[in-house]
């Protein structure tokens, strides 16, 4: 991530996506953290976020928002890839899918609630 930063990769991403993405919630630099979290795994997003935080590109609040957003968006893909086969192997298909969706729904709600508490306390 540091090498990508030094070589100007994130500036390149910013220049080509500035016209596509407009958000006051998260800066354009944070979008790359979200993308890394979705496309790769959480560790790639965390590495990108850590590099940007260390360089002063993102604040702590923006970093947390980007990581949480990437995690929430990537949750359905990970659930289908990792958990669905296990649930379908243990339970009947209807029960397995219901358990999967219920668990993921509760997980996303709890992550959103924890993030809300963080944002309220970290003003």
Q: Residue 65 to residues 9, 57, 86, 91, 118: CA-CA distances in angstroms?
A: 22, 14, 31, 35, 10
For residue 79, how many other CB atoms are within 10 A of its CB?
A: 16
**pLDDT surpasses 70 at 105:** yes
**How many structural domains comprise the chain?**
1
pLDDT for 26-69, tens place per residue?
Answer: 666 677 677 777 777 777 778 888 888 888 888 888 888 888 88
Three-state DSSP class for residue 29: helix
Closest CA to 53 of 77, 33, 83, 80: 33
Q: What confidence category does residue 103 fall into, taking pLDDT thresholds of 50, 70 and 90?
A: very high
**pLDDT surpasses 60 at 22:** no
Q: What confidence category does residue 71 fall into, taking pLDDT thresholds of 50, 70 and 90?
A: confident
Domain, as residue range, for 42: 2-121
Closest CA to 101 of 120, 66, 75: 75
**Mean pLDDT to the nearest integer, 99-119:** 92
- The region of weakest confidence among 35-44, 86-95, 109-118 is 35-44
pLDDT of amino acid 114: 92
Three-state DSSP class for residue 73: helix
């Amino acid at each position: 991530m540091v090498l990508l930063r030094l070589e100007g990769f994130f500036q390149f991403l910013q220049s080509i996506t500035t016209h596509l993405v407009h958000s006051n919630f998260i800066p354009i630099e944070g979008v790359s953290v979200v993308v890394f979290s979705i496309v790769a795994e959480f560790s790639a997003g965390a590495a990108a976020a850590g590099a940007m935080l260390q360089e002063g590109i993102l604040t702590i609040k923006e970093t947390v928002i980007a990581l949480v957003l990437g995690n929430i968006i990537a949750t359905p893909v990970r659930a289908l890839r990792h958990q669905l086969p296990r649930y379908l192997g243990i339970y009947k298909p209807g029960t397995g899918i219901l358990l999967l969706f219920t668990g993921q729904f509760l997980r996303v709600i709890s992550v959103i609630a924890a993030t809300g508490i963080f944002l309220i306390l970290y003003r």
